[in-house]
Amino acid sequence: MTDQLGEILKKTLKAIESGKEEIFLIAETSRTETHRLINELSQLKSDITEIILQVDYQEKVERRMRQKLMEVNRAYQVYTHEEMMKTYAEAQDAQIKLQLLQQKEVQLRKRRDDLERSLSQMEVTIERAQNLMTQVSMAISLLQGGVVEALQTHNHEQRLEMGLRVIKAQEEERRRVAREIHDGPAQTLANIVLRLEIAEKLLELDPSGVKAELKDLKNLVRANLQDIRRIIFDLRPLALDNSGIVPAISKYLDNFQETYGITCKLRIEGREKRLLPAMETALFRLVQEGMTNVAKHAHTDKVDIYLIYKDDWTIARIRDYGRGFEVKSAMNDPGEHFGLVGMRERVEMFSGHFSIQSIIGKGTSIELSIPSSQEGER
C-alpha cells in the first residue's frame, strides 16, 4: 500500500510540475504580449494626438472654404465660371479630407479602447498565473517533502505538530523574503525614482549633467538587478535543480564570501550522490541558516563547511573560529536564538540528528545529519 501511495505521489508530482511549466509559459507569454501592447498603445496615443491636430487644422480649412463658397454664391456675377467651379471643387475636397481624417480619428480611438481592454485582461491573466504558480509551488513543496505520506502514517498529535511546523517554516520564509525585498530592492527602487526626478530637472537646467546622472542610475539599476537575482537564487537556486547540492552550496558560499568578507572553504568527503529533492532542499536551507548565524554572531574571518556522504546518512558541518557562546542557554532561549532552534526542528522533521559544540573564544561547530535517501529510492 505504501509503495502504491508513493508511486501515486510521484506521478502526481510529475503532472503538477509539468503544469507549473505550462503556467510559467503562459505568464511569460502574457508578459511579452503586455509589453507589445504597451508599446503599441503608446504609439497609438501619439498617433491620436497627431490626428487630432490634423482634424483641428482641417476643420479650419473646411470652414474657410465654406465661407468662401458662400461669398462666391452671393456675388456670382463677380466671378467667372472657372473661378466658381474651382471654389466648389476646393470646398468639396476640404470637406472630404475632413471626413476622412475624422473617420481615421474614430478608428484610432476605437483601436486604443480595444488595446486598453486587452492590456487590462493581460494584467489579470498575469496576476492569476502568478497566484496559481504560488499555489502550485506550495503543492510541489509539500509533495517533495513527503508531507502527504507523513500525514497518513502519523497519529493525530504528530500530524498536528508537523502541520504547524510546515506553516511556521512557510511564514518564516515569507517574512525573510519580505524583509530582504524591503531592505534591498524596494529601497533602491525608491532611490532610482528620486534620481530620475533629479535627471528630469537637469534636462531643463543643466543638460550636460544628465549624462553623468544617467550613468550612475545605470549602475544603480544593475546593482538592484543583482540583488533581485540573489533573492531569487535564495528562494530556489537553479543549481540545486540542475546539478545538485554541492554546486548550489558552492555558489552560495561564493556570494556569502563576497558579501561578508569571510573566507569560506567547502570540503567534500565520501562519494557525492544526488538525493531526493526534499533532502537536497533541506540541506541547502540548513547550511544557509547556519551561515546566516555565522555572519550575525560569530565574528570570525573564516569558516570551514563539510559535506560528508555516507551510505545511509548525509552530514553537513559548519565550523567557525569566532567568539563562541554558551550552547545550553542559547538552545533554551528560542526567542533570542530562533535560527538555531529552527535548524534543529527542520532536521527533526526529516528524522535527523542535530548537534552544536561551542567554546567561548574559540568558535562553534554545528553538525546536522539526515537520512540520505537517493533519487530513485522509495
DSSP symbol at 373: P
Q: What is the pLDDT of residue 341?
A: 75
SS3 359: strand
Q: What is the pLDDT of residue 377?
A: 44
Class (C level, CATH) for 243-378: alpha beta
DSSP symbol at 154: S
Task: For the chain, give every domain's residue range.
Answer: 2-144, 154-235, 243-378
* pLDDT beneath 70: ranges in the chain: 1-18, 20, 130-131, 133-180, 182-183, 226-227, 229-239, 241, 333-338, 373-378
- The residue among 192, 204, 197 whose CA lies nearest residue 228 is 192
Cβ within 8 Å of residue 332, ≥6 positions away:
none
Cβ within 8 Å of residue 330, ≥6 positions away:
336, 337, 340, 356
Q: How far is CA 373 from CA 150, 221, 312, in A?
A: 15, 43, 7
154-235 has which fold?
Answer: 1.20.5
Distance between CA atoms of residues 115 and 125, nearest Å: 15
Rg (C-alpha) for the chain, rounded Å, is 34
N-to-C CA span, the chain? 12
Distance between CA atoms of residues 214 and 28, nearest Å: 29
Q: What is the pLDDT of residue 28?
A: 76
Q: What is the pLDDT of residue 50?
A: 92
- The residue among 37, 248, 231 whose CA lies nearest residue 122 is 37
pLDDT tens digits, 274-285: 887 777 888 888
User: Partners of 303 in the beta sheet?
Assistant: 264, 320
Q: What is the pLDDT of residue 96?
A: 93
Which bin fits 332, alpha (ψ -120 to 50), beta or left (φ > 0)?
Answer: alpha
Distance between CA atoms of residues 298 and 304, nearest Å: 13
pLDDT tens digits, 21-65: 777 777 778 878 888 888 888 888 889 999 999 999 999 999 999
Distance between CA atoms of residues 111 and 107, nearest Å: 6
Identify the CATH assignment for 2-144 out of 3.40.50.360, 1.10.287.2610, 1.10.10.10, 3.10.20.30: 1.10.287.2610
Distance between CA atoms of residues 5 and 369, nearest Å: 27
Distance between CA atoms of residues 127 and 148, nearest Å: 28
pLDDT tens digits, 171-204: 566 666 666 676 677 777 777 887 787 778 778 7
SS3 358: strand
- The residue among 10, 344, 32 whose CA lies nearest residue 165 is 344
